[in-house]
Structure 1
Amino acid sequence: MTNPLMHQNERTEWFTHDRFGLFIHWGLYSLGARHEWLKSREFMTTEQYDKYFKRFDPDLYDPELWAEAASNAGMKYFVITTKHHEGFCLWDSKLTDYTAVHSPAGRDLLRPMVDAFRKRNMKTGLYYSLLDWHHPDYTVDVKHPLRYNPEFVQQDGTRQFQRYVDYMFGQTRELLTGYGPVDLMFLDFSIPPEEGFAGKGKNEWQSEKFVNMVRELQPNILLNDRLEVAGDITTPEQYMPKEWVKVGGRPVVWEACHTFSGSWGYYRDEESWKSVDMLIKMLIDSVSKGGNLLLNVGPTGRGEIDERALERLQGIGEWMKRHNRSIYGCTAAPEGVKAPDDCRFTYNPKTNRLYLHMFSWPFKSIHVSGLAGRIEYAQLLNDASEIKMKQGAKASSMAAGALSEGRDADTVTLSIPVKKPNAAVPVIELFLKPGAFA
């Protein structure tokens, strides 16, 4: 039987164990409160956007509360936008005045956040945008706010992109030398050529040199794949993969990043918020395919996590409190083990347990193929109550009894209560016999 964790290495071990993280998009766009890309979407100049910088004063910011909400939800790591595409920096960068320290906030907002999350034994992830719509030497591309401004585009030949690349390297060095061990860096993103604009990829970012610098500064750090060079983590965004993500035909370490609603930054009037049940199912579905889920919040301009996000974090936490062992340390089921319809399997190879997550609750019985003779015991995970089962079919009774129950020689029938347990997604924990999938 193929080991589903064969692609792991020592550096990614914590990541594929923890499975669930918090993404935080926070910047000047929280004041606009209508999408983190508003500067680009509305073709705003730096002068027009400057009204947010002059008024960024998160007086209610308490990173201890953020970390507590994430930890209670069962999250094990966080990723914060130290600088998004707008170019504004949450830390005290010495390479620019476009920072929280020089705004009305008047202080480094990153350090207390990192400290608060680390206090709860959560791993540290730093997001850094490769794009920068504020830097004077950042050249025009298809995402730039002033891409259709003739005067701005005409001046592009006077910009020295190498100066921006040096700035990007310098800021990354600040982040990786000033905030202790950083476990993960989320770099965002490479731009293909489009609409007659030149793209920006590994040559423009000088990605190989950049990665070498990062590895030299923090040898154990994990990098994503958005520099157009091989990273440790592949990062599908805003969709759920249909199977274990593969690159070149080989399974890779992957993480789906998703929003609660349609925006990453705080969006006051956005209404397409996912339910708690849907978010839990997204987490389960990711782990069942060997992946992680990075779920985003967009704090307000005053520094609070939106009450709609808090409500969902609390709901996820209620489920995780009783079901987290079907997530932590788990991965896809062994090869050949197929979940019943509208169910997902996760598998912990160290404890030798399978977890059957039921997205809909069937009547009295659920039939699982391929596991007869491999299960020692079954229980509902939420309350550890026994689930009785029948394994396989006796030859003498196959005509009348077993087949009428829907079982064959390779099938296990689990007898479940008529009433669904009080859980968003009920889980049956299957204790496997030693060597069941040797």
Structure 2
Amino acid sequence: MRKYDLRRIGLLLLLCVTMFGNANSQTTKQPVALKHGAHRVGKRTDADMAKWRSYGLGQFIHWGLYSILEGKYNGKYYNGAAEWIRSWKEVPHAEYDSLYKQFNPENFNPTQWAKMAKQMGVKYVTFTTKHHDGFCLWPSQYTQYTVANSPYKKDIVKQVVDAYTKEGIDVYLYFSVMDWSHPDWRTDLKTKEDSVAFDRFKLFTKNQLTELLKMYPQTKGLWFDGTWDTSWKKSGAFSDSLEQHLKSLIPGLIIGSRLRADEFGNRHNDANGVLMGDYEQGWERKIPKTYADVHGNDWDCVMTIPENGWGYAEKWLGHWKTSYECIEMTTQCVSLGGNFVLNFGPKADGTFRPEEITVAKEMGDWMKVNNAAIYDCEYANCEKQDWGYFTKKQNDDKIYMVVFNVPINGSLKVKLPKNTSIGKASLLQAPSTVLSTEQLDYNASYIQLPKGMKPTSPFVIVIDTKQQSQVETEQKAKT
């Protein structure tokens, strides 16, 4: 019997134990035997995934031919996300597909990009190697539709990978499977001819991904997009083998839940409800409300500064987020055991818009002082309070309170996990300032801010915890 078969049997046994753990349950469904479902139950425990888990804050960059149109065509503004403008009926495909002849970002400076990200406090970046239009920002040998045939000519992916790696920022490569430029791409497989064409497309996809990992071995992971069409959902066996192939090229490679489909066409989670991938990628422009919502999975949230739109648009329509909104979202994600990834959409010339530069600078100023509450932190298992969020240092008992809303009386209610109490509370920015605490019932306490303290930005309180004695625990009121 093959090792792979043993692993599959072990996984099914584990699923059986999980699903039939309650002997009295009459409604639990039997697990489905899958060849191409999840190959692991629970989180990865290796060092590469532990590092991913510790990031806290990441950056996304969407850049491509769509940046040239700036979210408009012939004076009309596209009401959708700028990177999707080729799909707008107003834009002739032939005209869009010729934009590569204009792509010449003369002000592109990857070193400046990476330094801006470093100052912002970013620990990892996800960069678009190609989006749905199929235009490649590296000189792929498998298509002519690349930066090598633009006026710019130089390999942009290599410059980004090298610059960010030099700054100590891990690089993840975005890759759209869906490719509007490729003649063999199909949204569905309705005929034999469709299947034959799509088999060629799958080989093309595998070749390009293999090429990327061999050209840029510093890559820590891959971020997939455009995998929702029926054609890909019918290709579960291929996406399974593709994931295994890519991970054989770079040990420890991290791939989220967007790549795979099982043999029944389920994405993200297989037919047994088990995550396929190293972390959950279902949190796009939204954040879980509770820790229970992430179902014990690793996860991240990818977020835009405007309401929607990842590539550059001349006008941001509607509300766009301030730095403090982004800081709060970062903290909220970390408090629920995830990472927060903020998107930037450079202009066609390779520069960032002023609003993005401001958000990055202000977030970085805050992170420089308060990053202890973000990096290497996790869910603290504390009851949420209205003043802000709790985070907990991994492998430590230290808890952080990131305060966004100060009560009028200056007293912050804290409810710690069972049998845990406050040993000491102090301000992160002033460790010698020990805050007074008042023990309440049911593991709750009040922390009193110093009189006259009038914060102008979110701040952090550090709690050194201690375990309560059995006597203290038993003295709780009974009802």
Verify same fold: TM over 0.5: yes
Equivalent-residue separation in structure 1 for 2:100 and 2:305 (angstroms): 26
Equivalent-residue separation in structure 2 for 1:252 and 1:306 (angstroms): 35
Q: Which amino acid aligns with 2:336?
A: K
Q: Which residue of 1 aligns with 2:448?
A: 415
* Mapped contact 1:354–1:429 kept (Cα < 8 A): yes
Unaligned runs of 5+ in 1: 1-5, 142-152, 193-197, 393-406
By how many angstroms is 1:139 displaced? 1.9
Q: Which amino acid aligns with 2:50?
A: E
Determine which of 262, 287, 300 is the counterpart of 1:255: 300
* Offset from partner CA, 1:363-401 (integer Å, 9 cap, x none): 221121347863222111233352422342xxxxxxxxx
* Offset from partner CA, 1:339-366 (integer Å, 9 cap, x none): 3224210001334210112221112211
* Mapped contact 2:323–2:363 kept (Cα < 8 A): yes
| Pairing of 1:115-130 with structure 2 (within 5 A) | 115-130=162-177
* Mapped contact 1:128–1:185 kept (Cα < 8 A): yes
* Mapped contact 1:18–1:329 kept (Cα < 8 A): yes
Equivalent-residue separation in structure 2 for 1:245 and 1:95 (angstroms): 44
* Mapped contact 1:387–1:416 kept (Cα < 8 A): no
Determine which of 442, 448, 459 is the counterpart of 1:426: 459
Q: Indicate whether 1:174 and 2:221 are aligned.
A: no
Q: Indicate whether 1:52 and 2:93 are aligned.
A: no
Equivalent-residue separation in structure 2 for 1:419 and 1:426 (angstroms): 15
Equivalent-residue separation in structure 2 for 1:71 and 1:287 (angstroms): 19
Determine which of 328, 347, 359 is the counterpart of 1:300: 347
CA, structure 1 residues 158+364, in 2 after alignment: closer, same or farther (shift >3 Å)?
closer
CA, structure 1 residues 228+8, in 2 after alignment: closer, same or farther (shift >3 Å)?
closer
Q: Indicate whether 1:39 and 2:76 are aligned.
A: no
By how many angstroms is 1:314 displaced? 0.5
Q: Which residue of 2 aligns with 1:399?
A: none
By how many angstroms is 1:158 displaced? 10
Q: Which residue of 2 aligns with 1:187?
A: 224
Q: Which residue of 2 aligns with 1:343?
A: 388
Q: Which residue of 1 aligns with 2:472?
A: none
Q: Indicate whether 1:135 and 2:187 are aligned.
A: no
SS at match of 2:378: coil
Q: Percent identity?
A: 30
* Mapped contact 1:333–1:354 kept (Cα < 8 A): yes
Q: Which amino acid aligns with 1:190?
A: T
Q: Which moves more between the two structures, 39-48 or 259-268? A: 39-48
By how many angstroms is 1:318 displaced? 0.9
Q: Which moves more between the two structures, 274-283 or 221-230? A: 221-230
Q: Which residue of 1 aligns with 2:241?
A: 209
Q: Which amino acid aligns with 2:51?
A: W
Unaligned runs of 5+ in 2: 1-41, 72-81, 262-275, 470-479
Q: Which residue of 2 aligns with 1:357?
A: 402
* Offset from partner CA, 1:142-170 (integer Å, 9 cap, x none): xxxxxxxxxxx99x859811111111100
Q: Which amino acid aligns with 2:464?
A: F
CA RMSD of aligned residues (A): 2.6
* Mapped contact 2:377–2:391 kept (Cα < 8 A): yes
By how many angstroms is 1:298 displaced? 0.4
Q: Indicate whether 1:265 and 2:311 are aligned.
A: yes
TM-score by length of 1: 0.85
Determine which of 223, 238, 259 is the counterpart of 2:255: 223
By how many angstroms is 1:408 displaced? 3.0
By how many angstroms is 1:227 displaced? 2.0
Q: Which amino acid aligns with 1:365?
A: S
Q: Which residue of 2 aligns with 1:15?
A: 52
| Pairing of 1:380-391 with structure 2 (within 5 A) | 380-391=427-438
